[in-house]
Amino acid sequence: KIVWHFQTTPHDGWDYDGVNELVSFDYKEGGKTVKAAATADRNGFMYVLNRENGDFIRGFPFIDEITWAKGLDPKTGRPIYDEAFRPGNPADSKDGKKGSSVHAVPGFLGGKNWMPISYSQDTGLFYVPSNEWAMDIWNEPTAYKKGAAYLGAGFTIKPMNDDYIGVMRAMDPKTGKEVWRYKNYSPLWGGVLSTKGNLVFFGTPEGYLLGLNAKNGNVEFKFNTGSGIVGSPITWEQDGAQYLSVVSGWGGAVPLWGGEVAKRVKHLNQGGTVWTFKLP
């Protein structure tokens, strides 16, 4: 039986499926331990919930701009929609072939997509691989064609900035504030690992495996794997030695659906390797 549920984007008109991971964590507030859980949703908002009963504690943006909603209801966490940014109904158009197009932020690929966030019990921060992109989106009648996408909508993904799309963010779940950020030219499309050694590991489409200082975001480790990293780094131990492993091999949704964004990654090397590093 479902014990509780929480919807992030009810009446979703932008393809912000909230399929993202929910991470359990505890924190102290008012002398009491709060048993919480957090998720960074595709819709651009991060949510902190009571994991015992699903009650909304707080929510806040983790990307720089959101257009589809004016904010979240402070009591329920439900979005306060801006209806001017909801794609139009094709039936309302003159020919019935295309609804009114809107410029929506984030793009449907999400402020964050599948790539897991991580939490550090030492810093009390979440590390969020996010992306700054928008989309023009419109609804259109569905038409089945064998082998083609069956969407009922059209879209174009666009970068928000000339010099970066991906942003690794350290977010404080108690305040909703960003503590530090690391900007990347192309989108971040892999998960993140935070370690007891005060490091945050993640990969980039340019092929770099990065280890950042968990407290301030300074780059402590950088290694190019030869192909874009979509995988999530893991750490493991064998015979008393600690190792770090990551899969390298570019592909997936960004080059397939990325529109204008795909131009930034079309030159990247293909590949398929597993890299393992041993701590000295």
Phi/psi class of residue 118: alpha, beta or left (left: φ > 0; alpha: ψ in -120 to 50)? beta
Extract the tokens encoding 198.
């005060």
Extract the tokens encoding 142.
């569905």
Active site residues: 15
Helix (H) or strand (E) run with residue 40 in it: strand 32-40
Extract the tokens encoding 36.
């919480």
Nearest Cα neighbor of 39 from 77, 83, 86, 1 is 77
Residue 122 vs residues 25, 194, 196: alpha-carbon distances, Å:
12, 10, 7
d(CA 236, CA 116): 18
Nearest Cα neighbor of 134 from 167, 171, 109 is 109
